[in-house]
């Protein structure tokens, strides 16, 4: 659906975060006569009315009946379409779309292709991978937009002048289905990996996987770049797309620390600024995607050396009193916590895990800790902290690692320092869980971690390269 098709319809916004504000700004500019309503929490109603100076009919939280009174509802990504009130309204004919869907529809050519666009999704590593795509495109001299879930809503960059030559778009599982619903086809779509996540939004692991894969199964990109090592991806059949595989011997893959293109050794990743082996492995996805665009990926690979790592992703924020503090606040799955641990193999580690409990299974984490354990002290915290603690207690009793229960992040930091003692080591915040409840988002959690460690949170929060450049 294009923005012009909203003219004359009954339209509401649902959610007044950055995405909602971006949608409001675009609709006021493009369709000034369009009447708009807004659903938001009761605590935000007065502020939204003041901010929009009467241009919005601001209401509180919606009911199914209220949603069903509109033909189109533009919802923010964090609001699940599987909520009972949304399903009930959809059953009565209300169409739910998002800023993501509007952006892709506006940028599609006559045949539906959104040219010169690389979309990236995956459970782990998608932000760094998308930023790497933009970094290498810019290194090749191309004006590039780094946008999307990485921190810049697509509708904030709907029609920039001059337009970029390429778009690098990060998409969360909340957004991938919206690309499919837009009717547009990305030129290149990259899927890195799939692990259970966001089950509270999607409702089940199966639906999470199906929604995530909509970027390639529903949106039918011209070229799909897929990880051959992921069993969910390896089983896919995509007859409407050209499929390029990475992490297999005939394509871009790692042998030890060396990136190869088939038999050709291309790049030694050992001294790159990429945090973690999984991110260095995702460099193969980046190079495969650039090659799919027709660029010389072999020539561009060395420019990785100038890449600046992103905040909150295995980010070394500093050292103090013999301790190194690493902020991996974006870690929201147990698999991400395991990947973070691997990065510091051989070092003494205090691992801080736990947060909002959305029912993820920690069995794989427990099994890994039973068989392949670095010298680690585990500190549990947050609403799912007691559940994780109880699961790990038998292993701790057997002497596999130290285990400590904290009430919150400040308490966890104190316990971590005490556990590592004068010998020092790494204090690693890699929670494996969302920040909801205790913090507004993972960025706020990372900033608090930096403050508690004695560092300026403003110095560690900016995302390098975001926007158009």
Q: In sequence order, what are the beta bridge partners of 320?
A: 323
How far is it, in rounded angstroms, from Cα 454 to Cα 1?
49
How far is it, in rounded angstroms, from Cα 46 to Cα 38?
12
In this prediction the pTM is 0.87
Identify which of 120, 123, 124 has the alpha carbon closest to the alpha carbon of residue 146. Answer: 120
Q: What is the pLDDT of residue 286?
A: 97
Q: Give every residue of the chain whose pLDDT is below 50, as ranges.
A: none
Q: What is the pLDDT of residue 198?
A: 65
- Contact by Cβ (8 Å): 189, 225: yes
Q: Of all helices (H) and strands (E), which one includes residue 382?
A: none
- Contact by Cβ (8 Å): 380, 431: no
How far is it, in rounded angstroms, from Cα 305 to Cα 283?
12
78 Cβ contact partners less than 8 Å away, ≥ 6 residues apart: 15, 17, 174, 201
How far is it, in rounded angstroms, from Cα 461 to Cα 296?
33
Q: What is the pLDDT of residue 463?
A: 87
Query: What pairing do the DSSP bridges indicate for beta strands 323-327 and 315-320?
Result: antiparallel
Q: How many helices (H) and strands (E) does the chain have?
A: 17, 21
| Binding site residue list for ATP | 122-128
- Contact by Cβ (8 Å): 55, 45: no
249 Cβ contact partners less than 8 Å away, ≥ 6 residues apart: 262
Q: What is the pLDDT of residue 353?
A: 98
Identify which of 107, 122, 127 has the alpha carbon closest to the alpha carbon of residue 168. Answer: 127
Q: Of all helices (H) and strands (E), which one includes residue 170?
A: strand 166-170
| Binding site residue list | 122-128
Q: What is the pLDDT of residue 201?
A: 67
193 Cβ contact partners less than 8 Å away, ≥ 6 residues apart: 122, 123, 124, 125, 227, 230, 233
Q: In sequence order, what are the beta bridge partners of 376?
A: 349
Identify which of 97, 112, 106 has the alpha carbon closest to the alpha carbon of residue 240. Answer: 112
Sheet with 323-327: strands ordered across: 315-320, 323-327, 425-429, 349-353, 376-380, 402-405
What 3-state class would DSSP assign to 132?
helix
How far is it, in rounded angstroms, from Cα 213 to Cα 101?
16
Tokens matching residue 311? 């905040």
Tokens matching residue 198? 């966001």
How far is it, in rounded angstroms, from Cα 14 to Cα 12?
7
How far is it, in rounded angstroms, from Cα 445 to Cα 329?
7
What 3-state class would DSSP assign to 203?
coil
Buried/exposed code over 441-457 (b: 16+ C-beta within 10 A; e: otherwise)? bbbebbbbbbebbebeb
Tokens matching residue 397? 């009793």
The beta strands (E) that lie in 206-365 are given as 223-227, 242-246, 252-255, 258-261, 264-268, 315-320, 323-327, 349-353
Q: What is the pLDDT of residue 199?
A: 64
């Amino acid at each position: 659906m294009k923005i012009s098709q909203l003219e004359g319809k009954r339209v509401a916004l649902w959610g007044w975060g950055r995405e909602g504000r971006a949608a409001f700004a675009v609709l006021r500019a493009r369709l000034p006569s369009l009447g708009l309503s807004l659903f938001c929490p009761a605590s935000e109603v007065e502020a939204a009315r003041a901010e929009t100076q009467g241009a919005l009919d601001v209401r509180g939280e919606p009911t199914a009946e209220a949603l069903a009174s509109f033909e189109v509802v533009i919802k923010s990504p964090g609001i699940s379409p599987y909520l009972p009130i949304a399903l009930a309204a959809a059953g009565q004919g209300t169409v739910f779309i998002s800023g993501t869907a509007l952006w892709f529809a506006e940028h599609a050519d006559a045949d539906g292709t959104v040219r010169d666009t690389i979309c990236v999704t995956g459970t782990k590593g998608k932000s760094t991978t998308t930023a790497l795509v933009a970094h290498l495109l810019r290194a090749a001299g191309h004006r590039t937009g780094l946008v999307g879930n990485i921190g810049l809503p697509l509708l904030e960059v709907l029609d920039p002048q001059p337009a970029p030559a390429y778009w690098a778009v990060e998409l969360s599982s909340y957004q991938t289905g919206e690309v499919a619903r837009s009717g547009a086809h990305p030129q290149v779509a990259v899927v890195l990996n799939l692990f259970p996540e966001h089950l509270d939004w999607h409702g089940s692991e199966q639906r999470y996987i199906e929604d995530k894969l909509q970027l390639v199964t529903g949106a039918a990109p011209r070229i799909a770049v897929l990880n051959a090592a992921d069993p969910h991806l390896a089983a896919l059949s995509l007859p409407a797309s050209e499929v390029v595989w990475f992490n297999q011997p005939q394509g871009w893959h790692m042998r030890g620390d060396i990136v190869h293109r088939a038999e050709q050794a291309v790049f030694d990743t050992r001294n790159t600024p990429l945090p973690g082996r999984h991110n260095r492995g995702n460099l193969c996805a980046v190079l495969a995607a650039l090659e799919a665009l027709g660029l010389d990926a072999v020539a561009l690979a060395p420019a990785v050396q100038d890449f600046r790592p992103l905040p909150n992703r295995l980010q070394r924020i500093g050292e103090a009193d013999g301790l190194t503090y690493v902020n991996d606040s974006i870690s929201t799955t147990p698999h991400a916590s395991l990947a973070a641990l691997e990065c510091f193999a051989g070092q003494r580690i205090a691992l801080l895990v736990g947060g909002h409990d959305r029912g993820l299974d920690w069995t794989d984490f427990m099994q890994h800790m039973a068989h392949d354990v670095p010298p680690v002290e585990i500190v549990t915290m947050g609403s799912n902290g007691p559940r994780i603690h109880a699961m790990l207690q038998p292993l701790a009793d057997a002497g596999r690692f130290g285990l400590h229960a904290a009430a919150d992040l400040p308490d966890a930091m104190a316990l971590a320092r005490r556990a590592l003692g004068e010998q020092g080591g790494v204090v690693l915040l890699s929670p494996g869980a969302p920040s909801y409840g205790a913090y507004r988002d993972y960025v706020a959690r990372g900033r608090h971690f930096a403050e508690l460690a004695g560092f300026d949170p403003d110095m560690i929060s900016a995302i390098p390269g975001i926007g158009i450049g």
